[in-house]
Structure 1
Amino acid sequence: MIPPIANNFVAGESSEGALEYAADLNDRGISAILNLLGEHYHERSPAFEDTEEYCYLTAEIDDRNLDASISVKPSQVGLDVGTDVFAENVELIVDHAIDHDVFVWVDMEDHTTTDATLDAVVENADRDGADVGVAIQANLKRTGDDLQRLARSDATVRLVKGAYDEPASVAHADKSRVNEAYEEHLDYLFSEFEHVSVGSHDPQMISLARDLHDECGTPYEIQMLMGVRDDAQVDLAEDGVRVVQYVPYGGKWAQYFYRRVMERKENLLFAARAILS
Structure 2
Amino acid sequence: MTIDEQITAEVLRTIARDEQIKESVLRSSSLYPLLLAAAKRYVTGETRQEVQSRAKELEEKGYRLSVEYIGENTLDAKACEQVKNEFLAVIDDCSVLQRPVGVSFDLSHVGLLVSQEQAFAHVEEMAVAAARNQHDVMISMEESTKTEAIMAMYERLAQRHENVGITIQAHLHRSVEDVQRVLALPGKIRLVKGAFKEPRDIALARSAELNERYLQLAEMCVNAGHTCAFATHDQLIVDELQKRDYFSRPEVELELLYGVRPELAQSMQQNGIPVRLYLTYGKEWYLYLCHRIAEYPPNIHKAIADMFDPTRTAHVGYGEK
Letter in 2 for 1:208: E
Q: State the SS of the aligned residue for 1:189.
A: helix
- For 2:254 and 2:142, the matched residues in 1 are separated by 20
Match of 2:286 among 249, 254, 261: 254
Quick check: 250-259 or 101-110, which moved more? 250-259
Name the residue aligned to 2:136.
103
SS of 1:8 mapped into structure 2: coil
Written as runs of structure 1 = structure 2, the 5 A alignment for 1:54-203 is: 54-127=87-160, 130-173=162-205, 175-203=207-235
For the residues of structure 1 that align with 2:248 and 2:49, how far apart are their CA atoms? 40
Question: Does the C-alpha gap of structure 1 residues 10 and 46 become closer, same or farther in structure 2, counting only changes over 3 Å?
Answer: same
Q: Contact 1:90–1:120 at 8 Å: present in 2 too? A: no
Residue 207 of structure 1: which of 236, 239, 252 is its match? 239
Q: Distance in 2 between matches of 1:90 and 1:67?
A: 18
Q: Which of these residues, 42, 51, 65, is aligned with residue 18 of structure 1?
A: 51
Q: Is the 8 A contact 2:100 2:133 kept in 1?
A: no
Question: Size of the alignment, in residue pairs?
Answer: 276
Report which structure shows greater RCO (CA 8 Å, sep ≥6): 2
How many Å separate the matches in 2 of 1:230 and 1:209?
A: 18
CA distance in 2, matches of 1:238, 1:274: 28
Distance (whole Å) between structure 2 residues aligned to residue 204 and residue 272 of structure 1: 28
Structure 2 gap segments, 5+ residues each: 1-32, 313-321
SS of structure 2 residue aligned to 1:265: coil
Which one is further off, 70-79 or 261-270?
Answer: 261-270
What is the CA RMSD across the aligned residues, in angstroms? 2.2
Which residue identity is paired with 2:71?
Answer: G
Q: In structure 1, what residue type is equivalent to 2:195?
A: A
**In 2, are the aligned partners of 1:140 and 1:171 still within 8 Å (CA)?**
yes
- 1:28 matches 2:61: yes
Displacement of 1:46 in angstroms is 1.5
For structure 1, list consecutive stretches of 5 or more residues without a partner in the other structure: none
Distance 1:120-1:266 versus aligned 2 partners, 3 A rule: farther
Q: TM-score, normalized by length of structure 1? A: 0.91
Helix, strand or coil: the match of 2:213?
helix
Moved more, 207-216 or 84-93: 207-216
Contact 1:22–1:68 (CA under 8 A) maintained in structure 2? no
Q: Secondary structure at the match of 2:91?
A: helix
SS at match of 2:132: helix
Q: Which stretch shows the higher mean deviation, 60-69 or 31-40? A: 60-69
Moved more, 143-152 or 246-255: 246-255
Contact conserved, 1:194 with 1:218, CA < 8 A, in 2? no
Q: Shift of the alpha carbon at 1:3?
A: 3.9
Shift of 1:173: 3.2
Instruction: Give the Cα separation in 1 of the matches to 2:125 and 2:305.
Output: 41
Q: Which amino acid aligns with 1:100?
A: N
TM-score for both structures, normalised by structure 2: 0.79
Of residues 42, 50, 62, the one that matches 1:9 is: 42
Hey, what's the Cα distance between the residues in 2 that align with 1:118 and 1:79? Answer: 12
Q: Which structure has the larger Rg over C-alpha atoms? A: 2
SS at 2:186 equivalent:
coil
Distance in structure 2 (CA, Å) of the matches to 1:215 and 1:51? 34
1:48 match = 81
